[in-house]
Amino acid sequence: IAGITQAPTSQILAAGRRMTLRCTQDMRHNAMYWYRQDLGLGLRLIHYSNTAGTTGKGEVPDGYSVSRANTDDFPLTLASAVPSQTSVYFCASRAAKNTGELFFGEGSRLTVL
Amino acid sequence: AQTVTQSQPEMSVQEAETVTLSCTYDTSENNYYLFWYKQPPSRQMILVIRQEAYKQQNATENRFSVNFQKAAKSFSLKISDSQLGDTAMYFCAFMKQRGLVDMRFGAGTRLTVKP
């Protein structure tokens, strides 16, 4: 089934550790996004990429980095995790010519202790 | 910056009844898109309905319809004949047409459909 695959589904991590959340899409969408979801705050954009080789900062980029080496993959890295990064992380993509709709992965629940 | 406000953290409705979820937004853009996403307990984000700001006609998808008031910057979702499967978190979202970069979300409304 075509779509977005995120891994891991859930992870508990010690503070200070490095963590990479993986995201792969098979829809050949140009644009990809990482959001975090927190209770009472909705979803907030961390980083985005309009096309392979380019990335940009969203609303809450501090403590996170991304790369976009090819169209399909868009990993999110926490260089040194802190408890405030405990959240559910969603990867999303958008086709080049559509009316803005985002397609989402199933999310990765990350707990930083 | 664009902001999206959902003033109802939680709502409930009896099965087969109609419920309306509220959403307001703030923007200086003239061309944009508005969305309602549903997030059931499975955590998957599912697009419910989409509205283009340049269209005056309100969008409709089966039991779901919107009341789009551009001047008032209001975008409410009406669910008719509510079903148990409609129980979910509902997010209102905004994306400006220029650049199509940042989709902004409201805080969400948790809807419970009671049998």
Q: Could you say which of B35, B102, B107 has the minimum Cβ distance to residue A40? A: B107
What is the C-alpha separation between A93 and A85, in angstroms, rounded?
Answer: 22
pLDDT digits (tens, 9 = 90+) for A41-57: 999 999 999 999 999 99
pLDDT digits (tens, 9 = 90+) for B41-97: 999 999 999 999 988 899 999 999 999 999 999 999 999 999 999 999 999 999 988
Would you state the pLDDT for residue A95?
76
Q: How far is CA B15 from the centre of its chain?
A: 20
What is the C-alpha separation between B47 and B36, in angstroms, rounded?
Answer: 6
Give percent above pLDDT 70 in chain A: 95
Is A44 part of the contact surface with chain B (CB cutoff 8 Å)? yes
**Which comes out higher in pLDDT, residue B25 or B97?**
B25
Mean pLDDT of B28-40: 93
Q: Which two tokens mark B82?
A: 């509510």
CB within 8 Å: B100 and A33: no
The C-alpha angle with vertex A25 and arms to A21 and A31, in degrees rounded to 5, equals: 90
Q: Which two tokens mark B14?
A: 């009896």
Report the gap between the CA of A12 and the closest CA in chain B (Å): 18
CB contacts < 8 A, A to B, total: 52
Pairing of strands A76-78, A31-38: unpaired
- Does pLDDT of B11 surpass 80? yes
10 Å CB burial of residue A22 (0-12, 13-18, 19+) is middle
Would you state the pLDDT for residue B24?
97
Mean pLDDT of A99-106: 88
Which residues 1-60 on chain B approach chain A with CB closer than 8 angstroms?
Answer: 4, 6, 9, 33, 35, 42-45, 47, 50, 52
Q: Across all residues in chain A, what is the average pLDDT? A: 93
- Does pLDDT of A98 surpass 80? no
Would you state the pLDDT for residue B106?
95
Mean pLDDT of A21-48: 94
